[in-house]
């Protein structure tokens, strides 16, 4: 399946001079995303883009288009990383604390609220 990523808002372009990896970090409608292309960054690619679109044109050839221009990257691989922490937190509810743990913390915090309790906790 060909890669087709539409970023919304500002996209950060990270690449070191002479490095063989280009990372585009931004947001899509699904949330934060990092797209890493294993290839040399094209000349003239600015450090930030607005609402970029990355399309795989053919095998190992990717087109990055934005209002600032259009660039072609030859990359051996592409890695797409999505932040799934919010979806995971919604899918797995937190485990309730045991009654003993809740009792201990209630006693400690109640003691910390009084002067004598703070003295006792600091000994």
In whole angstroms, give the CA distance from residue 13 to residue 48: 6
Per-residue pLDDT at 30: 82
Quick check: 112 pLDDT over 90? yes
Residue with tokens 């919604």: 90
- pLDDT tens, position by position, 21-56: 899 999 998 889 999 999 888 888 899 999 899 999
- pLDDT tens, position by position, 51-80: 899 999 988 899 999 988 999 999 999 999
What is the model's pTM? 0.68
Average pLDDT of the chain is 90
> What are the angstrom distances between the C-alpha of 75 and each of 8, 18, 65, 88, 108?
23, 14, 16, 31, 58
Classify residue 35 by burial, with Cβ atoms within 10 Å: 0-12, 13-18, 19+: buried
The alpha-carbon radius of gyration of the chain (Å, integer) is 25
In whole angstroms, give the CA distance from residue 105 to residue 107: 5
């Amino acid at each position: 399946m060909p890669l087709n990523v539409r970023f919304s808002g500002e996209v950060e372009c990270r690449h070191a001079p002479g490095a063989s990896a280009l990372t585009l970090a931004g947001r899509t409608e699904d949330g934060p995303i990092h797209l890493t292309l294993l290839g040399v960054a094209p000349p003239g690619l600015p450090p930030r883009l607005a609402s970029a679109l990355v399309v795989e044109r053919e095998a190992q050839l990717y087109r990055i288009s934005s209002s600032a221009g259009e660039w072609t990257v030859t990359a051996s691989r592409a890695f797409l990383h999505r932040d799934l922490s919010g979806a995971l937190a919604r899918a797995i509810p937190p485990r309730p604390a045991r009654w003993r743990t809740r009792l201990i913390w209630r006693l400690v915090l109640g003691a910390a609220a009084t002067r004598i309790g703070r003295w006792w906790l600091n000994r």
